[in-house]
Amino acid sequence: MIRSTQPATLSQILAADPVAETQAAIVGTLKSLLPGVSIVSHPGKVDLSELVAKTLVQAPGVGVGWTRIRPTALPDASYSAAVEWAAYIVAEPALVDGKRVEKERIGFAIGGQLLKILADVGVSCWGRAGVTPVQLDTAELKPLFTVRDQAKGTVYYAVTWTQAIVDIGAGVFPAATGTADVDAGAIDYAAGASIRDMAPWLPAEVVDDA
């Protein structure tokens, strides 16, 4: 049985959307792991110079957003989304332990630490069910700054990666749970409806109990 999309109010759509909550979880996790670095939510692909001018990202800082979301599906045909995340790094020269450190080194160090965090499966699912480990072959650190930006004393880097959020929608296969009967070599289900739901998906032979 193929399930069709059901009507949903704006309130229901917002409640069912996991992307915003995942973004907030990423921001919260990075705040705890990068003390002294400003971590904020980023609205998307905008001019980074504008972000700095509007003090949305204080250097040294990271703005976390996403650049693209693509639908994908698991083997059970449930709807999932592959999210392309972006962490924009803003860096300026600073005193660290009483010594001046150049902006490029600060930006590169923050970016390298972000890549290390993404490689840590115990951390990079951001404490959320339904978020899969980062696809490490998609993770990268790259510079974004121009000569003009560098001359102004600010440099920008970006760490990007792809991560799937699964089970956003129900799958097409039945989700009934049975109990194994080892002696009988069978699986028992409490409700007959469960068997009827599974019947279209299983090769079966009808046997007369008599």
**What are the domain boundaries of the chain?**
10-165, 174-210
> What are the φ and ψ backbone dihedral angles of 180, each rounded to 5 degrees?
-75, 130
Contact 157, 142 (CB under 8 A): yes
Q: Please tell me the distance from the alpha carbon of residue 17 to that of residue 168, in angstroms, as a whole number.
A: 8
Tell me which residue of 127, 128, 20 sits closest to 69, measured CA to CA. Answer: 20
Q: Check whether 196 has a pLDDT greater than 70.
A: no
Read off the tokens for 167.
Answer: 């089970």
Q: Which H, E and C letters describe 16-44, residue by residue?
A: HCCHHHHHHHHHHHHHHHCCCCEEEECCC
pLDDT at 34 over 50: yes
Per-residue pLDDT reduced to its tens digit, 123-181: 999 999 889 999 999 999 998 866 665 566 788 899 999 999 887 655 555 566 667 77
Express each pLDDT in 61-110 by its tens digit: 999 999 999 988 666 556 788 999 999 998 888 888 889 989 899 999 99
Given this model, what pLDDT does residue 2 score?
A: 46
CB atoms within 10 A of CB 170: 12
Instruction: Give the pLDDT score at 4.
Output: 57
Q: Does domain 10-165 have CATH number 3.40.50.2300?
A: no
- In the block, tokens 């980023």 appear at 42
pLDDT beyond 50 at 15: yes
**Distance, CA of 157 to CA of 11 (rounded, Å):** 36
